[in-house]
């Protein structure tokens, strides 16, 4: 019986020796947390959430929120994170999470920036006329950083929206008549306002017509009422050619009268016979055309020149490799535009909500979050980082591509993990969370088995 027990113990020791023991360590302690969104508009309720923690691998649960200092925002927050503020400013929120690695609570204060709600104050836009320069101002309360009009609607041909940050103008020279409805938005990336306007463009004024002038020549007679011999009264027609001016034409009318006098005897003083006179006249009204020396149009805008503050060299300095679904990795793009001019990001020509990415300086580094990347379909998607131009007139963009790949087959992942585990077990120096070593355990088991055998033999001999 004792021999069977010893044999079973030896078999158990052998099995333990063949299965390397792994000491599993818990997740690391949390050092800091990140709360989203860090910014919002006054009068808008948002849901706060902890979306990441440092160091990597930290785990948490049971988020709780409390207002520590509302500042000038008059902010309130519920225990589960519903944040609401009525005025602009900065509020401090105390966030508490249960740190699974520490086995206790972790507390951190986070600041929420509240921006004044934007309101477009312009009520309507004036109408225009084809060929007549047009300028209309757009104004808003709050602090809009950029303006734009929706491409779904249509600006009248020849007009454009010129962004001036705090205000904007719709200007240009209309080229086509009609009624146009446009959709205008003012935004500062944290709050925005939108409204519709209608502009009616009338047709151009009709061109003036040409005129011709008829001149009549009359002959005076003697007191006897008879005309001298050889004298006739002939109407003289003077053809007048009038060239239509480019701007303001002035029709010209010329009347010429030829008078012939005779003596009382009915004979002409000089014995000559008056001849009907035809006077061809050509009257050309000077053309009035205003031309700038630099070739600019009447509005003073030179279409051949580039805005001196325009960033014609804006481009992407870095973009990520293909992103695989399920990888839980972020993806970063870097634009060489100035960070202070950053406006927003577009993917597939749609503006991406700020909760789906982080942006930081250097020059502009946009990092998409894994949760957003998971929503994109497999394939290539155009990415556009939009910035204000140097002078604030219009925007400039850096363009790139992000490729989304399907999730790797789970069996391949398991095979890869098994291969990684085998590689780690062969490391010479064991680390926390890895194999604790093969040979020391085997030696200990063999010594234990030898000790048991020695004790049994000694007992039998005695």
* 292 compared with 452, residue with greater pLDDT: 452
Mean pLDDT over 343-368 rounds to 88
Residue 417 has pLDDT above 50, yes or no: yes
Tokens of 349: 């020509």
Mean pLDDT over 18-39 rounds to 78
* 213 compared with 383, residue with greater pLDDT: 383
> Quick one: pLDDT band at residue 410, thresholds 50, 70, 90?
low
* 426 compared with 217, residue with greater pLDDT: 426
The average confidence (pLDDT) of the chain is 73
Residue 344 has pLDDT above 80, yes or no: yes
pLDDT at 419: 54
pLDDT at 408: 65
Element (H, E) at 461: helix 439-461
How confident is the model over 74-122, as pLDDT tens digits?
Answer: 999 999 999 999 998 999 999 999 999 999 999 999 999 998 888 888 9
pLDDT at 251: 44
Residue 239 has pLDDT above 80, yes or no: no
What does the alpha-carbon distance between residue 71 and residue 91 come to, in Å, rounded to a whole number? Answer: 5
| Predicted structure pTM score | 0.38
Element (H, E) at 186: strand 178-187
Instruction: Give percent of the chain above pLDDT 70.
Output: 65
What does the alpha-carbon distance between residue 401 and residue 214 come to, in Å, rounded to a whole number? Answer: 75
For residues 49, 52, 54, 56, the Cα torsion angle rounded to the nearest 10 degrees is: 150
b/e for 122-158, b at 16 or more Cβ within 10 A? beebeebbbeebbebebebebebbbbbbeeeeebbeb
Which residue has tokens 């030898």?
450
Q: Which of 72-81, 209-218, 388-397, 412-421 has the lowest mean pLDDT?
A: 209-218
Mean pLDDT over 415-422 rounds to 53
> Quick one: pLDDT band at residue 49, thresholds 50, 70, 90?
very high
What does the alpha-carbon distance between residue 420 and residue 424 come to, in Å, rounded to a whole number? Answer: 6
Which residue has tokens 């849901």?
47
For residues 297, 130, 153, 136, the Cα torsion angle rounded to the nearest 10 degrees is: 60
pLDDT at 41: 86
Tokens of 375: 């929503």
Q: What are phi and psi of 305, to 5 degrees?
A: -100, 155
């Amino acid at each position: 019986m004792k021999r069977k027990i010893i044999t079973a113990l030896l078999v158990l020791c052998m099995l333990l020796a063949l299965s390397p023991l792994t000491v599993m360590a818990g997740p690391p302690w949390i050092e800091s947390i990140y709360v989203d969104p860090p910014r919002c508009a006054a009068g808008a309720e948002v849901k706060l959430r902890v979306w990441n923690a440092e160091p990597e691998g930290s785990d948490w649960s049971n988020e709780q929120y409390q207002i520590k200092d509302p500042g000038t925002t008059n902010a309130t927050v519920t225990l589960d994170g519903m944040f609401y503020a009525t005025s602009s400013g900065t509020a401090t929120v105390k966030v508490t999470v249960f740190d699974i690695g520490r086995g206790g609570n972790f507390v951190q204060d986070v600041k929420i920036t509240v921006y004044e709600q934007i309101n477009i104050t312009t009520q309507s836009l004036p109408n225009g006329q084809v060929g007549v320069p047009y300028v209309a101002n757009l104004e808003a309360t709050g602090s809009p950083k950029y303006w734009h009009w929706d491409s779904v609607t249509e600006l009248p041909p020849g007009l454009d929206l010129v962004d001036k940050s705090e205000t904007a103008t719709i200007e240009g020279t209309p080229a086509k008549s009609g009624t146009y409805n446009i959709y205008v938005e003012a935004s500062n990336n944290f709050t925005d306002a939108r409204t519709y306007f209608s502009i009616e463009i009338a047709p151009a004024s009709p061109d003036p017509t040409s005129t011709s002038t008829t001149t009549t020549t009359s002959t005076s007679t003697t007191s006897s009422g008879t005309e001298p011999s050889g004298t006739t009264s002939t109407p003289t027609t003077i053809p007048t050619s009038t060239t239509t001016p480019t701007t303001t034409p002035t029709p010209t009318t010329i009347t010429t009268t030829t008078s012939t006098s005779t003596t009382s005897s009915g004979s002409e003083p000089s014995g000559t016979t008056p001849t009907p006179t035809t006077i061809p006249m050509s009257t050309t009204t000077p053309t009035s055309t205003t031309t700038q020396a630099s070739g600019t149009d009447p509005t003073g805008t030179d279409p051949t020149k580039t805005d001196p503050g325009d960033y014609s060299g804006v481009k992407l300095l870095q973009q990520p490799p293909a992103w695989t679904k399920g990888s839980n990795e972020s993806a970063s793009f870097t634009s060489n535009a100035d960070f202070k001019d950053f406006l927003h990001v577009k993917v597939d020509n749609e503006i991406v909500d700020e909760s789906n990415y982080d942006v930081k300086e250097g020059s502009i580094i946009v990092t998409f979050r894994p949760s957003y990347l998971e929503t994109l379909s497999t394939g290539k998607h155009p990415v556009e980082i939009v910035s204000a131009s140097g002078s604030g007139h219009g925007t400039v963009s850096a363009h790139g591509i992000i490729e989304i790949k399907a999730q790797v087959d789970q069996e391949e992942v398991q095979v890869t993990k098994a291969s990684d585990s085998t590689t780690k077990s062969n490391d010479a120096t064991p680390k926390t969370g890895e194999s604790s070593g093969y040979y020391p355990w085997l030696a200990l088991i063999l010594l234990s088995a030898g000790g048991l055998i020695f004790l049994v033999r000694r007992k039998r001999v005695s």
